[in-house]
Structure formats: structure tokens, C-alpha cells
């Protein structure tokens, strides 16, 4: 019988081909690459969707539960491996919904890699792929709702960040200062991911992360330099998509925090304990709240909103990787 790990891996292969064909489409604008890109992305979503069902069955077996509520009570996203698969899957799904709504496939080459990097980091950083018994704190009906809503928020943040990167490649007036901001934020995104797993040799991982960020910024510059960004929609449309992505993510992140507080009341006796994960979730929420306030109330437009979007995603990355793996707390079991 096929395992959940195999299904997740097959899904990653599909995402890789989706990224490949989205990139070909960006350079050639050919209809065949466009169709193959979307097809492979949906294929990956379907395969990994089945993978979550199979994973739920495997976790039920590990926890010696056989009734039909097993998937509900023993949800398959309770450690770093499973939740990163959920992050990637949700990010691709949300992107595909935006692609369908706006009838534009130009952002696939930016968003799909973010999802794929998240999922591939489970292999690179050596997170356990085995279905494990749940600790008592995770054996709750609140688990499914809290984790899903939170990760929809995280995935929407990834989509908005991918569009923000494309935004700087699209604008004619992108300056060296803008590229510096993109480089520095991307540098720390890569660093938090790598250092969170190994937690040693900081200079080495700072160097590796800087190199990865430089390559990423170089690709963005080439996209701008050779006019590939012409396939992107207008600046105004990109700002609207960023805003809608953040708005969706903010709503679900808010719901996830509220559900987490209710769950904490039942699990630990209090709604809020200033656990590092809770604290950084609040910081991330405040960043996006400030974004929405600046965009909707103050009418802020242009580059500052793109900065906000990328900084918000940086906060998401630290909340997920850094807090989970570096700072001990009540959420440390989720590894």
C-alpha cells in the first residue's frame, strides 16, 4: 500500500514540474506551457490531498484508533514534517484560486517555489517523516480547526510575498535601495529556515543564506532586465492581489489565534500565557493589522506596502521555524 510520505514526495515532483512550466511560460508565453503548469500544480494538490487522508489513517493506527473519527482527532499535521506539507499544499491551492480569479499565471514562478522550498526543507533539515503518537496536549478536537485556519493564514502570507517579489521586478523605478531591502529580508528568511534546524556555526549559515538571497535577487533582476515582467498584470492589479492575499491571511490568522486561545484554556488552564509562539503570533498579527490599516484607512500605496508584505512573511517564517526550533516553549513538541 502506498504511504503518505510517497504521496507527499510525488506531489513535490508535480510542483517542481509546475514551477518548470510556469518559468517556461514566463519566457515563451506559450499556451502549452501555461496549461501544463496549471495542470501539474493541480495534480500536486490532488496527490498531496490524498496524502493527508492516508497520513490521518497512519496516525490513527499509531495511536491505536480505528473508528471514523480518527482523522478528525488525530489530524495529520502535528509536527514540523506534516505542518510544512500542509503549508506548501495550502499555499499552492490559494495561489491556484487567485490564478483562476485573475486569469493570470505570471506569479506561479514566484509562489510555487516558496511552497516547494517549505516542503523540501523537511528533507534538507532532516525532520522525521514517521507518523508518531500524539502527546496529550494535541489530543483535542480543537487541533484540526486551530492548525488549518492558522496555516491558511501562513499560506496566504506566502502568496502575498511571492507577488511582492514580482512587484519589484515589475516596477520601472525599482532602486538599489529597494533591491537592498529585498536582499536583506530574503537573506534572513533563508537564515531562519537553515539555522532553526542546525543551531550552530552562525557565520557559515549566514554566508549560505546570503548566497541564496543573492541568487534569488539576481533572478529577479534578470526578469526585470530582459522584460519578462511584461507578462505581469499592472502595478495597480498586483497591489490589489497583495492586499486581498493579506486580507485573507489576516482573517484566518485571527481565527487561528482565537481558536488557539480557547484550546489553551482547556489544555493549560489559561487563554494566554505569553508563550514565545503566542507572542510572535501576536507580533505577526500586528504587522498585518498595520498593513491593512495603512492600506485601507490611510490609503497607502506603492513600494511601502510591498515592504510590509515581505516583512510580514519574514515574521511568519520566524514564528514558524525560529520559535518552534530555537526558543523553548509550550509549542516545542511540534517538531
Q: What string of DSSP letters covers 80-130?
A: HHHHHHHHHHHHHHHHHHHHHHHT--TTHHHHHHHHHHHHHHHHHTT---S
Of 55-59, 64-68, 216-220, the range with the highest mean pLDDT is 216-220
Distance CA 231, CA 26 (A): 7
pLDDT of residue 266: 74
Q: What ranges do the domains of the chain cover? A: 1-122+129-134, 140-328
Q: Looking at the chain, how many residues does it have?
A: 335
Torsion of CA 208, 210, 214, 215, to 10 degrees: 20
pLDDT band with cut points at 50, 70 and 90 for residue 47 = very high
Total-model pTM: 0.83
Residue-level pLDDT at 333: 47
pLDDT score recorded for residue 334: 52
Per-residue model confidence (pLDDT) at position 89? 93
CA distance 103 to 101: 6
Average pLDDT for 41-69: 79
Give the pLDDT band (50/70/90) at residue 263.
confident
Give the residue from 94, 114, 107 showing the smallest Cα distance to 231. 107
Report, as an integer, the average pLDDT of 176-205.
80
b/e map 2-24, b = 16+ CB within 10 Å: eebbebbbbbbebbbbbbbbbbb
Which residue would you say has higher pLDDT here, 40 or 26? 40
Amino acid at each position: 500500500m502506498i504511504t503518505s510520505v510517497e504521496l507527499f514526495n510525488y506531489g513535490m515532483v508535480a510542483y517542481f514540474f509546475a514551477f518548470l512550466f510556469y518559468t517556461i511560460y514566463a519566457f515563451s508565453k506559450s499556451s502549452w506551457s501555461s496549461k501544463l503548469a496549471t495542470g501539474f500544480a493541480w495534480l500536486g494538490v490532488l496527490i498531496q490531498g490524498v496524502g493527508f487522508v492516508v497520513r490521518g489513517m497512519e496516525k490513527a493506527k499509531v495511536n491505536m484508533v480505528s473508528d471514523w473519527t480518527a482523522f478528525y482527532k488525530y489530524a495529520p499535521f502535528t509536527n514540523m514534517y506534516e505542518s510544512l506539507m500542509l503549508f506548501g499544499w495550502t499555499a499552492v491551492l490559494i495561489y491556484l484560486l487567485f490564478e483562476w480569479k485573475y486569469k493570470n499565471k505570471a506569479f506561479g514562478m514566484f509562489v510555487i517555489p516558496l511552497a516547494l522550498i517549505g516542503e523540501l526543507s523537511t528533507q534538507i533539515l532532516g525532520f522525521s517523516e514517521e507518523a508518531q503518537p500524539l502527546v496529550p496536549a494535541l489530543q483535542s478536537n480543537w487541533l484540526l480547526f486551530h492548525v488549518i485556519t492558522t496555516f491558511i493564514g501562513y499560506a496566504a502570507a506566502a502568496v502575498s510575498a511571492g507577488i511582492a517579489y514580482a512587484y519589484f521586478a515589475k516596477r520601472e523605478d525599482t532602486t538599489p535601495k529597494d533591491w537592498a531591502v529585498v536582499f536583506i529580508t530574503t537573506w534572513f528568511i533563508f537564515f531562519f529556515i537553515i539555522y532553526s534546524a542546525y543551531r550552530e556555526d552562525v557565520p557559515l549559515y549566514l554566508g549560505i543564506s546570503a548566497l541564496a538571497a543573492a541568487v534569488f535577487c539576481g533572478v529577479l533582476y534578470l526578469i526585470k532586465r530582459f522584460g519578462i515582467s511584461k507578462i505581469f498584470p499592472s502595478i495597480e492589479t498586483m497591489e490589489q492581489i497583495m492586499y486581498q492575499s493579506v486580507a485573507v491571511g489576516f482573517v484566518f490568522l485571527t481565527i487561528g489565534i482565537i481558536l488557539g486561545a480557547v484550546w489553551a484554556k482547556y489544555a493549560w488552564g489559561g487563554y494566554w500565557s505569553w508563550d514565545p509562539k503566542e507572542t510572535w503570533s501576536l507580533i505577526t498579527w500586528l504587522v498585518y493589522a498595520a498593513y491593512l490599516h495603512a492600506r485601507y484607512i490611510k490609503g497607502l500605496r506603492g513600494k511601502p506596502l510591498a515592504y510590509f508584505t515581505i516583512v510580514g512573511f519574514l515574521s511568519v517564517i520566524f514564528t514558524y521555524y525560529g520559535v518552534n526550533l530555537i526558543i523553548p516553549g509550550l509549542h516545542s513538541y511540534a517538531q
